Every structure is written in C-alpha cells, then in structure tokens.
C-alpha cells in the first residue's frame, strides 16, 4: 500500500489555516458576527495570518491602529498596535487605588507571549489610559493565542466592572432597608452591608421577630427588592400598632 506524504510547505499552510480559523472562532466567541459579515481566512502560506490577525483585532476592539513598523538590526520585523479599550477608564476608577498596580502587572504579563513552536515570535504590551499597546516581533508564528489573551484581558475588565457595580448597588439596597427600620422605629439593625440583599433582609426580619414570614414563602421564589420594601413597611406598620397598644394599655 502506498503512503501519502505532505511536504513541509503543505504542513505549514495547514498550520496557518488552522490558526486563521482559530482567530475567527475567538472573534465569534467575543460576540462578533462572522456569518453575515465574514472574514476571509484562506491562507496561501505560513505568516500570512498577520493580516487576518489585524482584521480580527479591528472586529473585536474597533479602531485598532498600527503605530509602528520597522525591521531591526537582526532582520526581525517589528510591528506595534494601539488597541482601544475604553472600559479601562471605568475599570481603574472602580477598583481600589491599591489594586491598580496589581491589575496592570497582570495585564502586562498576559500580553507577554512567546510562541512555543516559533520561539522568536513574540508579543509584549503595556496598559496606557484607555488602551493597550502591543508590539509583535517577527511574523512567523501562531497568532490566535495572542488574540485570545487580548480578549481575555477585556473580559476580565468587563466582568470586574460588572461585579463591582453589583456590589455597590447591593450595598445601597441594604442601606435603604436598614434606614427604613431606623426611620420608623429608631432602631439600628446590625448587619453587614456587603452581604447579599436576601441575607440582610432575612436578618432584619429576624431582629424584628418576623423571620417566620420567610418560612411561609416558596424557597424557589426569589423576592424582588420592591416586594422586600413592601413587606418591611407592612411589618413596621404592625410593629407600630403593637407599640401604640402597649402604650395605651400602660
């Protein structure tokens, strides 16, 4: 039986094709439409993914600009890109000042990538204001791991913004609940504002001696915040009536 062999050029083309397909998969996973607005991923030879890499960055991040292009004294191509990431402004406002250095170091380390197979193909980057700046050394290598890291940075930024905002909103909701009790009864409820609002609501009812009301509810039905407010006001009305009756009896 005859054996079929692939020459080195064919293997390289297959590697490049696979890398290009991975690039587009990353773009798709990032929420971009690559069906109605496709990206041509056909590669003639290894190293041609550079153009697809640039197109994919533009599709994901918007107005990506090549800021520098040259060949160094060793014959290596050097390409730098400015990648807009406006979320960084809000991100560094919402995280603690003491965490800025930690996150910047994390992002720089994530952008520091060296191709495992083509060891002279490298990416390094910096974080500046509302953008990332990356520099690629050489062109022969796999680009999809680099794009994956850039998208991962944006995902971390967006997720952290979302989580921090949720904590702020949750704390404000808890503050309102405790303030209602204080304004109506003059009682300060001992709770942590950092706890989930469901937990704080349960603790408030417990301290008001109405925790049994939660046992009457279906545990699978989450209470809306508006429902919590209404229940709390109803309970406080009952507490006020009980207090007035006690004063009259006295």
Domain ranges of the chain: 1-61, 63-142, 166-249
pLDDT of residue 150: 98
pLDDT at position 2: 57
Tens digits of residue pLDDT in 201-231: 888 888 888 877 776 666 566 788 998 999 8
pTM, full prediction: 0.82
DSSP 32-54: ---SSS------SSTTTHHHHHH
Torsion angle, alpha carbons of 144, 150, 156, 159, to 10: -80
Residues β-bridged to residue 83? 132
Structure tokens at 235: 């309970």
- pLDDT > 70 fraction of the chain, expressed in percent and rounded: 89
Q: Which stretches of the chain drop beneath a pLDDT of 70?
A: 1-6, 8-9, 119, 215-221, 243-250
Q: Identify the pLDDT of residue 248.
A: 47
């Amino acid at each position: 039986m005859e054996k079929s062999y692939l020459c080195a050029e064919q293997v390289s083309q297959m590697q490049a094709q696979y890398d290009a397909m991975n690039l587009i998969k990353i773009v798709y996973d990032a929420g971009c439409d690559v069906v109605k607005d496709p990206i041509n991923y056909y590669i003639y030879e290894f190293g041609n993914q550079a153009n697809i890499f640039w197109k994919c960055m533009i599709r994901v991040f918007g107005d990506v600009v090549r800021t520098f292009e040259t060949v160094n004294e060793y014959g290596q191509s050097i390409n730098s890109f400015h990648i807009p990431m406006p979320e960084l402004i809000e991100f560094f406002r919402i995280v603690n000042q003491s965490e800025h250095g930690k996150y910047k170091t994390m992002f720089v380390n994530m952008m520091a990538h060296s191709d495992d197979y083509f060891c002279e193909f490298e990416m390094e980057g910096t974080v500046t204001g509302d953008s990332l700046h990356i520099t690629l050394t050489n062109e022969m290598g796999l680009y999809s791991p680099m794009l994956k890291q850039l998208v991962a940075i944006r995902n971390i930024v967006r997720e952290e913004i979302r989580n921090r905002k949720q904590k702020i909103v949750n704390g404000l909701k808890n503050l309102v609940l405790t303030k209602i009790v204080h304004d109506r009864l003059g009682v300060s409820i001992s709770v942590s504002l950092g706890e989930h609002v469901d937990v704080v609501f349960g603790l408030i009812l417990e301290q008001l001696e109405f925790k049994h009301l939660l046992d009457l509810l279906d545990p699978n039905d989450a209470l809306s915040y508006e429902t919590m407010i209404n229940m709390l006001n109803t309970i406080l009305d009952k507490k006020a009536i009980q207090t007035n009756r006690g004063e009259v009896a006295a």
